A and B are shown apart, each in its own frame.
Chain A
Amino acid sequence: MLIKNAIKYLVVAATFIVAASACEVDPPIKKELPANDIRMIIPEGWPYPEYDFTGNTLTKEGFILGRKLFYDPQLSRDNSISCGSCHQQFAAFSHLDHNVSHGIDNLLGVRNAPGLFNLNWNTSFMWDGGINHIEVQPIGPITNPVEMDESIANMVTKIQNDASYTSLFNDAFGTETVTSQLIFKAIAQFQGMLVSYNSKYDLYSRGQTSLTSSEQNGLNLFMAKCNTCHTAPLFTNYEFMNNGLDTIFTDAGRATITSLASDSGTFKVPTLRNIALTRPYMHDGRFTSLDAVLNHYVSGVKNSSTLSSQVAGGIQLTTTEKADIIAFLKTLTDNTFKNDERFNDPFAP
């Protein structure tokens, strides 16, 4: 019996060794990811999106090409960093536990990498709103010297010279000639498909589940005290506001773009969807927990000339109320989105 078992184990072990060594010999198998059901999504009750793929017809092939480009480190100068490096799916495409972006050559950026989802509804991109269109957004991080530091022209050359893209461009756009325009349109197809609309809160809104009493109380408090800026269903009003983080602005925020003193220290109101997945918080990632964020609004708001009247003097919340609001915020986590295989890294083993 003992010998029989021993033989069994040996056979199993041998199989593993063969399997393992086979993996070492063969090149990594390209992961076949699903790309079914590629179509523009407008969840019930949401406004019509800013970007509806006009001039960039959404197709399965365009999505697959965009997905590969999103995860391709060739988009950085030394082929070390992809879009996916700082936008990780398990963190709703934010950079978990990184206060500011970590770029090429171990350089640090100045702002927190936001989650990527529901981008079709964005009226502008980046914390300062400097970028006006989903298709040209990637030019920012790709050319930023402390992020990916690649030139657009060189990126095009690298992708053109990579034979693994030839058929992908042909399938998506009917041409093998790579241009920056086609690269950006493909990435927009991938990013435009990142729609998060299946959180517990969404199920509740659709009458498919109920909230706990704490979550329900949090929702009521949220609607009374937070929804003016973090407006449902997208949980942002897309405006630029100073929420009282500082009295002296080391980062001018929106004023960097507009050169208007009245915009000093204002930043885009971020969505709160998937907020429990995207710590740390604020444009510079200074708060590591939702608790710290709420404490800021209760007692940490600092006065300045551009301070939003919505938070001036702070927002009054008891300890229980804070806990209820956090319970509600956690219902905005969308695990279906976080685990959606269509959005996985095709380079991953």
Chain B
Amino acid sequence: MKTLKYSLLLFISASLIFTSCKKDPYEETAPTPSNPGVTAGSLSIHFENMAGDSSLVFNTESYVTANNDTFTVSMLKYYISNIVLTKSGGGTHVEAESYHLIDASDLATGDFTLLNVPFGDYTAISFMIGVDSLRNVSGAQTGALDPANGMFWSWSTGYIQAKLEGYSPQSTAGGNQIIYHVGGYKGIYNPLKTVSPSFGTEVASVSSTVTPEIHIKANVLEWFTSPVNISIASTSFNMTVNQTSLDMSDNYADMFTVEHIHN
């Protein structure tokens, strides 16, 4: 056992010596054009959380819904999963282990990079809002899917696909709170949505020298409207699987727009 440990240590040290000239895994996938063997690079996605045309501000800013209700936001979290990029001229790139938890209060969670994306021009993106049904039935998970992240229903197994909390004078709940947890993954109230916010005429060109960034805006006001207007007075909180959670998922399905793409 000791010998094994020493051999391992030796091996690791040796590997370090040989790889120390590389800076980080990023550069590994985006080397100089002189390396003809490499055909894949990276693509970044930036989610910016908005309320209408303004960046979302927690607690202190009040917003007005389509129903003319006023509310503030204390929490906004949602899962983005199963990201698929469509290549110009056909073909797709599917991100492996594609699970991202976006917490609007932690800007870093809205920025992530897809690695090993084949070089090429991408003209469309699609992703799921929430965690696909398979992972909801596959037992204990980790990383973005760790139940410690607070996005998991213990009493009715499944991820909370999206969560919005705050306050509203129209709320009939204690302390004027508003609490909306949209969860579940099956049945007639299945809230899982796959959406494809349009690139318009823009293209994300992944190459050996360019890591494009897709800038996506998420508008929290969409939770309350289109197709179903939500009245905060009649729906101050909802934390189960029902018509209201389905309505909310139909509403927030169109909260994403591609603002622009940096190349």
Q: Please report A residues at the B interface, Cβ cutoff 8 Å.
A: 55-56, 126, 130-136, 139-140, 142-144, 151-153, 156, 179-181, 183-185, 188, 256-259
- The residue in chain B whose Cβ has the minimal distance to the Cβ of A124 is B157
Cross-chain contact A184 with B146 (CB below 8 angstroms): no
Q: Is the interface of B mostly helix, strand, loop or mixed?
A: loop
State the CA gap A181–B147 with chains docked (Å).
Answer: 9
- Chain B positions 180-228 with a Cβ under 8 Å from a chain A Cβ: 187, 189
Cross-chain contact A144 with B154 (CB below 8 angstroms): yes
Cross-chain contact B139 with A130 (CB below 8 angstroms): no
State the CA gap A339–B164 with chains docked (Å).
Answer: 50
With A132-B157, A143-B154, A181-B146 as known contacts, state yes or no: A259 contacts B140, CB within 8 Å: no
A238–chain B nearest beta-carbon distance, Å? 15
State the CA gap A38–B146 with chains docked (Å).
Answer: 28
State the CA gap A156–B140 with chains docked (Å).
Answer: 14
State the CA gap A153–B149 with chains docked (Å).
Answer: 8
Give the A-B contact count at a CB cut-off of 8 A. Answer: 73
Q: Does any Cβ of A come within 8 Å of B54's Cβ?
A: no
With A180-B148, A258-B187 as known contacts, state yes or no: A139 contacts B154, CB within 8 Å: yes
State the CA gap A184–B145 with chains docked (Å).
Answer: 14
Q: Does any Cβ of A come within 8 Å of B141's Cβ?
A: yes
Cross-chain contact A188 with B154 (CB below 8 angstroms): no
Q: What 0/1 readout, one digit per residue, does chain B (218-262) give for beta carbons within 8 Å of chain A?
A: 000000000000000000000011100000000000000000000
List residues of chain B with CB within 8 A of the CB of A126: 155
State the CA gap A144–B155 with chains docked (Å).
Answer: 8
Cross-chain contact A259 with B146 (CB below 8 angstroms): no
State the CA gap A150–B242 with chains docked (Å).
Answer: 28
List residues of chain A with CB within 8 A of the CB of B241: 257-259
Which one of A142, A184, A258 contacts B140 once the chains associate, using CB atoms below 8 Å? A184
Cross-chain contact A180 with B157 (CB below 8 angstroms): no
Cross-chain contact A188 with B139 (CB below 8 angstroms): yes
Q: Does any Cβ of A come within 8 Å of B142's Cβ?
A: yes
List residues of chain A with CB within 8 A of the CB of B141: 181
Cross-chain contact A136 with B155 (CB below 8 angstroms): no
Cross-chain contact B156 with A259 (CB below 8 angstroms): no
With A139-B154, A259-B241 as known contacts, state yes or no: A134 contacts B139, CB within 8 Å: yes
A157–chain B nearest beta-carbon distance, Å? 10
List residues of chain B with CB within 8 A of the CB of A184: 139-140
A267–chain B nearest beta-carbon distance, Å? 15
B49–chain A nearest beta-carbon distance, Å? 24
- The residue in chain B whose Cβ has the minimal distance to the Cβ of A142 is B154
B128–chain A nearest beta-carbon distance, Å? 19
**Beyond known contacts A133-B139, A139-B154: 8 more, CB 8 A cutoff:** A131-B157, A132-B137, A135-B139, A143-B154, A184-B140, A257-B155, A259-B241, A259-B242
State the CA gap A185–B141 with chains docked (Å).
Answer: 9
List residues of chain A with CB within 8 A of the CB of B242: 259
State the CA gap A143–B156 with chains docked (Å).
Answer: 13
Cross-chain contact A181 with B140 (CB below 8 angstroms): yes
- Chain B positions 73-94 with a Cβ under 8 Å from a chain A Cβ: none
- Chain B positions 124-155 with a Cβ under 8 Å from a chain A Cβ: 136-142, 146-148, 152, 154-155
A100–chain B nearest beta-carbon distance, Å? 16
Cross-chain contact A139 with B146 (CB below 8 angstroms): no
Cross-chain contact A140 with B142 (CB below 8 angstroms): no
State the CA gap A156–B147 with chains docked (Å).
Answer: 11
B197–chain A nearest beta-carbon distance, Å? 30
A180–chain B nearest beta-carbon distance, Å? 5
List residues of chain A with CB within 8 A of the CB of B138: 55, 133
B73–chain A nearest beta-carbon distance, Å? 23
